[in-house]
Structure 1
């Protein structure tokens, strides 16, 4: 169950890409349910920029932490405890708000599309770091 630190970068990339794809898919599907208004696309870009910046910094921080490991680590060590708690909170809130029906489709359309693409960007960064990693 222990893997090389380089492999942790790949695992992180795959996890973030899968999460990003699924979140963006929900947003894109919601765009099919709402009137196509130009500013919803602009809001998606804004959300992407905000979260993309945050996830870029996070992926660089986690890459540095992973590279600093001296030996093989359990495969779940691509995140630290704080990151797992944040992820659990975000997933719980997202699923809960969507399931409540209190969030309109237009919000899910722009917010989830931008957020999902930003999550995917983090996955791409981790995979780039995996590919370019040298001992």
Structure 2
């Protein structure tokens, strides 16, 4: 048995749910930050920045994050046994996440005007939230499939 008994092993449905939940939560946090920055702008001046952020989100979602999600799904879906709870993304991706978080902190503390940062935060946040929905949709269909069989 050894150390293996302490590994937080879960079914693939839990991995799918965790992936979707994490992507959704991070996406929502980034969107809320962007909206708060845009909301502090006077009048209707925030609309062009919001539109740019939404356009960026659609591009990043379609051409970037969906490919990552699909690659993760190809890795998770064939799993038959229980896997480590933190295995919902590849281990190498944790380094990328740390770099992205560090860059986000540096950007927030930079002299870049908030309305321009809002475009980036809205774009990435909304793209993460949209892409996270795919994990959750597949999770629900996997649960339904296992209940039927």
TM-score (norm 1): 0.91
How many equivalent pairs are there? 134
Residue matched to 1:60:
70
Higher radius of gyration, 1 or 2: 2
The runs of 5 or more residues in structure 1 that have no matched partner are none
The equivalent residue for 1:17 is 24
**Unaligned ranges ≥5, structure 2:** 1-7
CA–CA separation in structure 1 for the residues paired with 2:32 and 2:60: 17
Q: Is the 8 A contact 1:34 1:105 kept in 2?
A: no
Q: Which runs of 4+ in 1 moved over 6 A?
A: none
Q: Provide the aligned C-alpha RMSD in A.
A: 1.5
Aligned pairs for 1:48-127 within 5 A: 48-53=57-62, 54-99=64-109, 101-127=110-136
Question: Does structure 2 retain, via aligned residues, the 8 Å contact 1:33–1:105?
Answer: no
- State TM-score, norm by structure 2: 0.83
Query: Which range moves more in the overlay, 122-131 or 40-49?
Result: 40-49
Deviates more, 1:123-132 or 1:39-48: 39-48
- 2:3 counterpart residue number: none
For 1:12-51, list aligned pairs within 5 A.
12-35=19-42, 36-51=45-60
1-structure distance, mates of 2:40, 2:53? 16
Q: With a CA cutoff of 8 Å and minimum separation of 6, indicate the structure with the bigger relative contact order.
A: 1
